[in-house]
């Protein structure tokens, strides 16, 4: 078996039913597999670091590739040929050799997500933000976001908690910022070793409720302390969510991407 490869890619998730390959549905993993098989044979396999939901985007998804016919050299040329076969909304940014037992999902130590909220109508970024028409108090939202780091039970923010081995998640950092060059753009960023299904979108929706004054930061603390069905009704749309980066042991944490990316 050839040595596995590590691919870093970006994609617009708007046309896809998420990352995970499915029967009779267009997915990112399925599209990658179909095109890669024309280059490297039917035995190739792909595992992604994050199983993004339908409509969710990625700036820095990571995938591990396995297959007997995968190249071991001239990976730049192979990457270009692969990109030529892919639709315009999926792009392989980098392709490098990986350790013999590398697995993109199991080996990841940190996943970083960002959620983009627009406080103004925008003709160019509608696909990549959640436009909230109400006045939002970003200071209150930032206080609520500051409660999230640490080890908490995120059951209140999880779709189908019974489908997870545990709803405890260790959050490395979480913050809400307004870029000085884009005062109408709110960026919620959160990093953890793993995330629960719809967890980030429910957190983003809850922060918006705090910003609108219908919830308080103390309510968020309460949701972390006891089970509540309220966040389920506050799930933010997929359009504003991005898998920003995946970090592995020994990696230097990547800088935050330009707040305007992919366009605001």
Q: Which two tokens stand for residue 228?
A: 């509540």
Cis peptide before 262 (omega within 30 of 0): yes
User: Residues 215, 206: contact at Cβ < 8 Å?
Assistant: yes
Q: Tell whether the torsion through CA atoms of 57, 60, 62 and 63 is positive or negative.
A: positive
Q: Which two tokens stand for residue 225?
A: 């302390």
Entry pTM: 0.94
Instruction: Name the nearest CA neighbour of 79 among 94, 100, 62, 101.
Output: 94
pLDDT tens-place values along the chain, 264 residues long: 578 999 999 999 999 999 999 989 999 999 999 999 999 999 999 999 999 999 999 999 999 999 999 998 999 999 999 999 999 999 999 999 999 999 999 999 999 999 999 999 998 889 999 999 999 999 999 999 999 999 999 999 998 877 788 999 999 999 999 999 999 999 999 999 999 999 999 999 999 999 999 999 999 999 998 899 999 999 999 999 999 999 999 998 888 888 888 875
Q: What is the pLDDT of residue 264?
A: 59
Q: What is the pLDDT of residue 1?
A: 58
Q: What is the pLDDT of residue 74?
A: 94
Per CATH, 5-97 and 110-247 having the same topology is answered: yes
C-alpha to C-alpha distance for 33 and 117, rounded to whole angstroms: 32
User: Residues 236, 38: contact at Cβ < 8 Å?
Assistant: no
Catalytic residues, by residue number, are: 53
Query: If residue 203 lies in a helix (H) or strand (E), which one and from where to where?
Result: helix 199-212
Nearest-10 crossing angle of helices 199-212, 138-145: 140
* Candidate CATH numbers 3.40.50.80, 1.20.1560.10, 3.30.70.580, 3.70.10.10; the one for domain 5-97: 3.30.70.580
- Residues 71-92 have pLDDT tens digits of 989 999 999 999 999 999 999 9
Instruction: Name the nearest CA neighbour of 153 among 170, 176, 174, 141.
Output: 170
Q: What is the pLDDT of residue 3?
A: 86
* Candidate CATH numbers 3.20.20.70, 3.30.70.660, 3.30.200.20, 3.40.50.12240; the one for domain 110-247: 3.30.70.660
C-alpha to C-alpha distance for 233 and 224, rounded to whole angstroms: 16
Domain ranges of the chain: 5-97, 110-247
């Amino acid at each position: 078996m050839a040595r596995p490869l590590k691919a870093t890619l970006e994609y617009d998730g708007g046309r896809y039913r998420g990352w995970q390959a499915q029967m009779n549905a267009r997915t990112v993993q399925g599209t990658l597999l179909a095109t890669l098989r024309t280059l490297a044979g039917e035995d190739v396999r792909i595992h992604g670091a994050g199983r993004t939901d339908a409509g969710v985007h990625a700036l820095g998804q990571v995938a591990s590739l396995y297959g007997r016919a995968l190249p071991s050299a001239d990976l730049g040329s192979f990457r270009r040929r692969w990109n030529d076969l892919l639709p315009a909304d999926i792009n392989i940014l980098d392709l490098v050799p990986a350790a013999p037992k590398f697995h993109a999902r199991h080996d990841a130590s940190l996943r970083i997500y960002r959620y983009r909220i627009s406080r103004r109508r925008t003709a160019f970024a509608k696909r990549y933000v959640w436009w909230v028409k109400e006045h939002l108090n970003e200071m209150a939202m930032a206080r609520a976001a500051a409660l999230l780091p640490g080890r908490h039970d995120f059951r209140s923010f999880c779709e189908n908690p019974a489908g997870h081995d545990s709803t405890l998640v260790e959050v490395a950092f979480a913050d809400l910022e307004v870029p000085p060059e884009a005062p109408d753009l709110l960026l919620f960023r959160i990093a953890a070793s793993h995330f629960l299904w719809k967890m980030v979108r429910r957190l983003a929706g809850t922060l918006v409720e705090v910003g609108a004054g219908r919830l308080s930061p103390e309510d968020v603390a309460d949701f972390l302390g006891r089970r509540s069905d309220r966040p389920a009704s506050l799930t933010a749309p997929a359009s504003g969510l991005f898998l920003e980066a995946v970090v592995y042991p020994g990696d230097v944490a990547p800088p935050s991407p330009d707040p305007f990316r992919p366009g605001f």
